[in-house]
Structures are given as structure tokens and as C-alpha cells.
Amino acid sequence: MSSPSPSNPAPRRLAGRTALVTGSSRGVGKLVAEAMAREGASRVIVHGRSEASCADVLALVRATGAEGVALTAELAEPAQVEALADRVLALGGVDILYNNAAVMHPWRESIDLHTQQDWAWSFQVNVFALVRLCARLIPSMREKHWGRIVNVTSGIDKTPQLAGYGSSKWAVDKFTDDLAAELKGSGVIVSRLDPGWLRTDLGGPHAPNAPESVLPGALVPVLLSDDAAGGQFFRAQDYRRDA
């Protein structure tokens, strides 16, 4: 078999698909949004909290030939989550929902130093917004009998200093399991993905992995075949090109 070349380009495995990637103004989401556009997605909706923060990723998406749309929403505000869903549905919904955006509260040395706000913020952005986007965007996927949802989780373990963040990711895992059971046989496949510890703004400068190492693994749950099981757990670092 010949290798991909300019005259024999690699097949674009998401040709004609539309996608929303939350938190795609930077970090993991930015890489995923551009990668999906390179795979032929016809429209990639990028998301951040401001138009300015989305400008770079929008340009990267459009440079592939895909349609790029930027939508802004503060996911800590439930009304803005609903407004984001409204605007996505007004565009016809999406085939792929990549729930990537998340916040991490400050490091707290002991549980008595955790605040109510640490937990409320973590759960609103990381869990409740994700659940609402699923609830609002899945019905149109079901109508088309095709959809892929990726809920980004974390391998964080035994880190009580970030218990509010870690617990929110545990809730994402549990919700994904339940949702997979509900979606069985619908053509809509939900997965969860741990990107690995990366040197993004969230992961910090001491993380062992470059942000780019999240690819190609981060696209594996998007590219699942129609007979794949729902509720699978993927570790992006397992698919590293240098592994």
C-alpha cells in the first residue's frame, strides 16, 4: 500500500462530520479541534470564554478548509451553558461533542482549607455543564442514529489537595458509564478520555508530557467504528507516536 503523499492524500476520516469542542481556545481542546478539521470535519465549532481567545484556533481550523465557528460561553454560568446549546442547535446540532473544558481549583494543603466555592465551581464547569451539553445535543444525534461524545476525564489519583477537581472527574466517569448504558444501540457512542499529565496551563510547567502528545490518542474515541462499545476508557498517552 502506498504511503500518503500530496498526490495520494491520507483518507479524511471525519469527512462531512460536524463537531463542538468545548475549551478549544488553548491546550488539549485547541489540538483536538485542529486535528478534527484536518480529518475532514466539515464544521468545527470552537469554544472559549472570549472571541479573542478563540481567534488562533479558529484560524487553524479554517486553514484546513473546514468551516470554523467560534462560540463563547462561561460554563460556570448555567444560563450561558444553555445559550451555548441553543446556538449549536441553531446551527443544526453536531455529530461529535468533545466535552473538554474544565477548571481546576487552587492546591489546598488539607481538606479544611478547601472552600465551598472550590467544589461548586469544579462541579458546575466540569460536570453540570458537560451533563447539560449532553442532554441538549444528544437528541439530534439520536435522530441521525450517529454520534460520538468524548468526556475528558483525568488520571489524577491520591491528590487530596485537588479533591474538588478529582471528585468532579470521578463524577464525569460515573456519568459516562450511565450514559453509555442509555445510549446502547442508538448509534451514539460515548467514551471518556484521559489526556495524560501535560504541560498546558492547567497541567503546569512540571508535567512530564508535551501537550502535542495527546494526539493521535485523543481522536481514537471520535474515530470508533459503529460497532464499538460505549463507555470505553482511553488513555491518550497509550497512543503516543514515540511510545
Ligand X SMILES: NC(=O)c1ccc[n+]([C@@H]2O[C@H](COP(=O)([O-])OP(=O)(O)OC[C@H]3O[C@@H](n4cnc5c(N)ncnc54)[C@H](OP(=O)(O)O)[C@@H]3O)[C@@H](O)[C@H]2O)c1
53, 70 Cβ separation under 8 angstroms: no
Taking CB under 6 A as the binding criterion, the range among 99-107, 173-181, 215-223, 224-232 that sits at the site for ligand X is 99-107
Count residues near ligand X (CB under 6 A). Answer: 29
Q: Based on CB atoms, which residue is closest to ligand X, 10 or 52? A: 52
Interhelix angle 27-38/51-63, nearest 10 degrees: 30
Residues 161-200 as x/- pattern, contact with ligand X by CB under 6 A: ----------------------------------x-xx-x
- Per-residue cell: 32: 483536538
The interface with ligand X within residues 72-91 (CB under 6 A) comprises 74-76
Q: Does 23 bind ligand X (CB under 6 A)?
A: yes
The answer to the question of residue 240 lying near ligand X (CB under 6 A) is: no
**What is the rounded distance in angstroms from the CA atom of residue 15 to the CA atom of residue 39?**
7
* CA–CA separation, 51 and 45 (whole Å): 12
Among candidate residues 103, 123, 95, the one with its CA nearest the CA of residue 36: 95
With CB under 6 A as the contact rule, the residue among 18, 122, 154, 191 that binds ligand X is 154
Q: Tell me how far, at minimum, the Cβ of 18 lies from ligand X, in Å.
A: 19
Distance, in Å, from the CA atom of 169 to the CA atom of 188, rounded to the nearest integer, reads 22
Q: Which letter, b or e, does each residue of 118-134 get, where b requires 16 or more Cβ atoms within 10 Å of its Cβ?
A: bbebbbbbbbbbbbbbb
Stretch that binds ligand X, among 8-16, 201-209, 215-223, 233-241 (CB under 6 A): 201-209
Under the binding rule (CB under 6 A), the answer on residue 27 touching ligand X is yes
Cell 478549544 sits at which residue?
A: 24
The answer, yes or no, to whether the previous bond of 216 is cis (omega within 30 of 0) is yes
Type of residue at 22: T
Residue 76: φ, ψ to 5°: -75, -10
| CB of residue 90 to ligand X, shortest distance in Å | 19
| Cβ proximity to ligand X, 101 vs 180, nearer residue | 101
> Which stretch of DSSP H or E encloses residue 194?
strand 188-194
Of 52 and 229, CB closest to ligand X:
52
CA distances (Å), origin 216, targets 35, 105, 175:
8, 28, 25
Looking at the Cβ atoms of 1 and 79, the one nearer to ligand X is: 79
Closest approach of ligand X to the CB of residue 11, in Å: 28
Query: Is position 207 an interface residue for ligand X (rule: CB under 6 A)?
Result: yes
Please state the closest distance from residue 212 (CB atom) to ligand X, in A. Answer: 12
The region of 5-13, 21-29, 177-185, 230-238 touching ligand X under the rule CB under 6 A is 21-29
Chain contacts with ligand X (rule: CB under 6 A): 23-29, 48-50, 53, 74-76, 100-103, 125, 152, 154, 195, 197-198, 200-203, 207
